Structure 1
Amino acid sequence: MGDLRHSPVLNGVFPDGPDLVLLHPAVSARHWRRREILAALRPETVLKGLAGVSVVGFALLAGNGFAGKFILTAVALIVVLAGWRARCAVREYRGLRDDVPRTRLRRGEGWRSRDFADLGPDVARMVRELLAGVDELHRTPARAWIEPALPGEAHRVVWEALCCLDRGRDAHALAEELATDPDAGEDLVAAARQAVTTIDHDLDEVARHLRGCLVLTRAWETKLRRTDLTHRADRVLAALPGRTELRGLTSAAEMLPRNVFAHVTAARDLTQAGEFPWERPPSQWPRLTLLPPHRATPPGPGDPAGEEQP
């Protein structure tokens, strides 16, 4: 269902489907974990455990003979099977995901977002917004920079706001009933509408202030991300090679073709292998042959066809 160490808003799985749950501020992570364990235990598992303890006691009284050893072996087997069955029951109870137990909420232990679906789409949307806001305020990276008690205070305020909304159910129902009752006076209809409007307005104010908290934390999250990106960029750019180092590499690379040219032409002279294609007149050059890097311009008609030193 979730981890109360991070947020009091949990993703629950209920008979009518998944839903958000806001737990009571007094419900601790330890209490909720105990609820999960107790809910996973089944009567047959407890009875098997009691039966095993009883048989062990009888075996101890029976002595150390064959009967005692047989009973102890049988008890050990029963205990192992009971433990395995209990583990399977816990897995079945939790459902497909390990963090989503199918625990039924006790009255007053938590509010589901669907608990207020009957009050209209606007109220249902506001409730979902309140629950999502509390969850985000507990999980935001900016939590380390704000007052530690602030998320808990927001949790308490939203919980009490939902309690007030629940207490106003009768006012909503009465306003709808009076609006369709021809015998109701206009003063009663106006009073009921005013009461409902006041409740909705005040709860909208709670949602607006919570939204303001989220705007501030999101802005600070943006600053934190930008600061982190700036530090990362500084580290990466500082590790890049400098301009002097790159110029040294360029100069060293520039000498390579000249060195090769000198050795190749010297070897050509020693072996009398003849001239290279680029040493011939341009009209005799092979097609699609590029100039060597040491020749800036092709030789003119009057240039000698001999060697050209770099």
Structure 2
Amino acid sequence: MTHSNPPDTAMPVRAATFPDGPDSMLLNPDIEESQWRGERVRAGLRPRIVLTGLAGAALAALAAASGGGFAAVFALSAGILAVCASVVAGWYSAARMLTDHRHAPGRFCRLDRVRGEFFFRSRDFADLGTASYAVRTLIAGVDELHRSPARAWIDPGVPREVHRVVWQAVCCLDRTRAARGLAGELATDPDSTVGELAAAAREAVTVIDDALDEIVRHVHGCLVLTRAWEAKLRHDELATRTDHVLATVPGRAELLRLTEAAEALPQTVFAYITAARDITGAGAFPWEQPASSWSRLLCILPRGLRRGTASGRALARRVRSGEGLS
């Protein structure tokens, strides 16, 4: 059965645009929603936006106090326009706080000033070799799990726990940068006495990578289960839709009645047409001529119509006798 509580609407994985192109980022699960709201307020109240709004308000107030005249009206309009522009710019900046990080060179916003404080990008680990693939896989897995329709059928705490475990694993991987650098440095040292140190550094890095692979495997197991349940849900939905659609399809008996009714129509029309021919004396139809003079088009007429001349003539006699055509 499904849970009555709606799933958390905050998605832990977001697609964002950075100076080097679009990328996916994993949000820090320890950041509360109130803190995110505060960051949105800060983004919407940047100094330039606030100063523009204040200048526009001051200009509008001075114009309103100065009385009439074209200059006052122009200044009032400019002030109101500046205030409206600052409001729109503030709303736009707050709305795109998480998704747009295309700042000027050398400038950073509060969110991407410190790597890992608010989020990790998948490209943050591009320099770690094969471990970067594991990070991308984990981020994609968290995103898929939170978007899956099967999420409504499991405990709401499970996706959040997956998010937290993946975040902690990524943090552990980020802390191995110094060890990886040291292992590379020791490996290139010709002094044989550092061999043991290089082996210890490589061992520490290998332990982290192996643990990361295990986490990837377990997250994939969660996705396999949710995908299987999604397939069941899709099958049930398709079965319900199929039953509903097929219930509206005309039945065989109804179609049989229609074909039987349509079958008699050509013979009836033929009888009236030949009767009209006999009344008007228009002469024989091409199919009433010898077979050698029939055109190819007329050869496709139903055989019953070719033999229906007698019926048409009988109808014509009824017309002449006073019965009329109904």
TM-score interval for Structure 1 and Structure 2 normalised by the shorter chain: 0.7 to 0.9
Partners of 1:79 and 1:6 in 2: CA distance: 38
Counterpart of 1:190 in structure 2 is: 199
Deviation per CA, 1:40-66: give whole Å up to 9, x if none.
Answer: 32335545777899999xx9xxxxxx9
TM-score, reference length from structure 1: 0.78
* Residues 133, 211 of structure 1: 8 Å contact kept: yes
Counterpart of 2:118 in structure 1 is: 109
Matched, 1:144 2:148: no
Counterpart of 1:133 in structure 2 is: 141
Alignment equivalent of 2:258, drawn from 217, 224, 249: 249
Alignment equivalent of 2:35, drawn from 24, 31, 35: 31
- Equivalent position amino acid for 2:26 in 1: L
Partners of 1:20 and 1:284 in 2: CA distance: 79
Instruction: State, as a whole percentage, how many aligned pairs show the same letter.
Output: 52
In structure 2, relative to structure 1, the CA distance for the partners of 1:307 and 1:37 (3 Å cut) is same
Matched, 1:90 2:90: yes
In structure 2, relative to structure 1, the CA distance for the partners of 1:262 and 1:204 (3 Å cut) is same
Alignment equivalent of 1:203, drawn from 196, 212, 234: 212
Alignment equivalent of 1:220, drawn from 208, 229, 236: 229
In structure 2, relative to structure 1, the CA distance for the partners of 1:258 and 1:98 (3 Å cut) is farther
| 3-state SS in 1 of match to 2:197 | helix
In structure 2, relative to structure 1, the CA distance for the partners of 1:261 and 1:294 (3 Å cut) is farther
Alignment equivalent of 2:13, drawn from 9, 13, 23: 9
Shift of 1:79: 6.7
| 3-state SS in 2 of match to 1:290 | helix
Partners of 1:49 and 1:100 in 2: CA distance: 25
Gaps of 5+ in 1: 60-65, 300-305
Counterpart of 1:263 in structure 2 is: 272
Gaps of 5+ in 2: 1-7, 102-108, 313-326
* Residues 6, 138 of structure 1: 8 Å contact kept: no
Deviation per CA, 1:183-241: give whole Å up to 9, x if none.
Answer: 24433222222211111000111111111111222222222222222222222211111
Counterpart of 1:62 in structure 2 is: none
| 3-state SS in 1 of match to 2:299 | coil
| 3-state SS in 2 of match to 1:27 | coil
Aligned residue pair count = 289
Partners of 2:144 and 2:134 in 1: CA distance: 15
Counterpart of 1:22 in structure 2 is: 26
* Residues 25, 119 of structure 2: 8 Å contact kept: yes
In structure 2, relative to structure 1, the CA distance for the partners of 1:45 and 1:79 (3 Å cut) is farther
Partners of 2:53 and 2:265 in 1: CA distance: 85
Counterpart of 2:323 in structure 1 is: none
| 3-state SS in 1 of match to 2:16 | strand
Partners of 1:287 and 1:130 in 2: CA distance: 72
Task: Supply the RMSD in Å over aligned alpha carbons.
Answer: 3.6
Matched, 1:280 2:289: yes
TM-score, reference length from structure 2: 0.74
| 3-state SS in 2 of match to 1:181 | coil
Partners of 2:54 and 2:280 in 1: CA distance: 104
